Structure 1
């Protein structure tokens, strides 16, 4: 049985890392201590990698204009550069979790390196919500992170950073796939800078058309 679970766990992690918009519910069953879904009647709008000097101010303005609260997972190195955005996001009712000090996969880090990267960002944000870069955590890293708070994953990936997927395709996938309780993931980085302003207003309209509301990631 243990051998079977190890095999399924490995396959599941590969599934998370592939270009798959909708994460199979089996993944949440394999990793039940991680947060994969939001509350009933809602979806959670989440953003990784920021803050970004061009994207973040626009995004906060856009969310405020629609009275939407979002959950951000920001890199410590970017928070150090733009601390004013952390204060603004919190003041405006958003939740800011952490995403590592640098955007490094757990696969690339020793346990001590992971701890350092994790703690440097956690201290800057002062949050118990963590989203691992690329979703990558080995068993020891996951245990450490879960002992410190919550590990937040996602149930729908936008792939807004992938230039091989058009904005039109991203939005069509959203229309077809997003459901009640989904945690949606978008990004604030150089790869999304040229189309985030097109995608996010359309996503907001899609969610409203589905009769769903926006909620924060909370545990």
Structure 2
């Protein structure tokens, strides 16, 4: 019976899913100003919010068939799409209200917005003139936000049959939505690498920057690292950082019969190997987990840690700089949240320093990984 159910689920997904487009990225060199003050961060933030809101409003004019064609899907969950749109509008309104608090310092992209109706009105008529100081940014930004919106709508269209970071299954999960304005959480998946490797470089770099992050480790990778070194070496590796789990192997935990064993085995290894760094968090590979798993996670005192800013650093066609630029664009749009990188990817050695340099004077904060959100 279990095999039959899994096979039916596979058939449903296969019928619904076609190949997604390449992840969206935006060349930040088209933006004419450095983000070297909180006010200039807000200027860029207002511009990204209005551009995304314009794309979101335009998408609402599409009927179901047009939306299927645009998302390259045969079947869509329109209720989830509508639910996502409502959530996006609420967050855009809150974010624009934060971003316009510095309009007395720089009025660029400051428009009358005090409620949802006025935000939708401004989004509908938003455009950047051809002779504007920001003209070179406008068209690339429109394309970026249309493609990024499609990424979000596509995940919603498939949810919950294919689970992802787009939606929560309960209070035992979080994705960064409730964080304070200008506060971001750095996370890294799929490590550790073997020594010497990206994980070694990254943890050392973060310590030098006085920043902490959460590393979601794979049990088999951590075990391999312990086997080739020692517990003392692994403790030194993660000094000042936090360690959660991603399961024993990088595999979807939504239809895996042994998903609970995968998590429990990894939790036990982390608690034994790096007890001072352990945080009770599980990061599901691909964002995929079971909708009925709340009881299990609550019994273990573990939360499901999703994300709302995806670097897409595992995408084959994405360069390190494009990944960093994508993250920065989404930081400007969402103004707070959980950023997902992979310490198994060489790109992180260039992407993270670029990102920290670009935001160093923007008035942002990096969350302490050891403090509950």
TM-score tier after normalising by the smaller chain length: 0.7 to 0.9
Q: Which runs of 5+ in 2 are unaligned?
A: 1-78, 84-155, 272-278
Task: Tell me if the contact between 1:106 and 1:141 (Cα under 8 Å) persists in the aligned partners.
Answer: no
For 2:206, the equivalent position in structure 1 comes to 63
1:108 Cα deviation after fit: 4.1
Identify the match of residue 98 of structure 1 among 245, 260, 269.
Answer: 245
Could you list the structure 1 runs, at least 4 aligned residues long, displaced by more than 6 angstroms after superposition. Answer: 7-10
For 2:172, the equivalent position in structure 1 comes to 33
CA distance in structure 1 between the aligned counterparts of 2:319 and 2:162, rounded to whole angstroms: 22
For 2:299, the equivalent position in structure 1 comes to 147
Task: Tell me if the contact between 1:89 and 1:96 (Cα under 8 Å) persists in the aligned partners.
Answer: no
Cα distance change, pair 43–158 in 1 and its aligned pair in 2 (3 A) = same
Identify the match of residue 128 of structure 1 among 280, 290, 299.
Answer: 280
Identify the match of residue 261 of structure 2 among 116, 119, 144.
Answer: 116
Cα distance change, pair 13–67 in 1 and its aligned pair in 2 (3 A) = farther
For 1:200, the equivalent position in structure 2 comes to 352
For 1:44, the equivalent position in structure 2 comes to 185
Task: Tell me if the contact between 2:321 and 2:350 (Cα under 8 Å) persists in the aligned partners.
Answer: no
Equivalent residues, number:
201
**SS state of the match for residue 134, structure 1?**
helix
Q: Are residues 1:172 and 2:325 paired?
A: yes
1:12 Cα deviation after fit: 3.6
For 1:138, the equivalent position in structure 2 comes to 290
Task: Tell me if the contact between 2:310 and 2:327 (Cα under 8 Å) persists in the aligned partners.
Answer: no
CA distance in structure 2 between the aligned counterparts of 1:186 and 1:14, rounded to whole angstroms: 25
Task: Tell me if the contact between 1:157 and 1:184 (Cα under 8 Å) persists in the aligned partners.
Answer: yes
CA distance in structure 2 between the aligned counterparts of 1:56 and 1:32, rounded to whole angstroms: 31
Offset from partner CA, 1:75-98 (integer Å, 9 cap, x none)? 1111112234641255x2211001
Cα distance change, pair 206–15 in 1 and its aligned pair in 2 (3 A) = farther
CA distance in structure 1 between the aligned counterparts of 2:215 and 2:199, rounded to whole angstroms: 10
CA distance in structure 1 between the aligned counterparts of 2:368 and 2:237, rounded to whole angstroms: 13
1:125 Cα deviation after fit: 1.4
Q: Which runs of 5+ in 1 are unaligned?
A: 18-22
Task: Tell me if the contact between 1:174 and 1:206 (Cα under 8 Å) persists in the aligned partners.
Answer: no
Task: Tell me if the contact between 1:89 and 1:95 (Cα under 8 Å) persists in the aligned partners.
Answer: no
Offset from partner CA, 1:168-211 (integer Å, 9 cap, x none)? 3222222221143310011022xx12x22111111222342432
RMSD: 2.7
1:146 Cα deviation after fit: 3.7
For 1:187, the equivalent position in structure 2 comes to 342
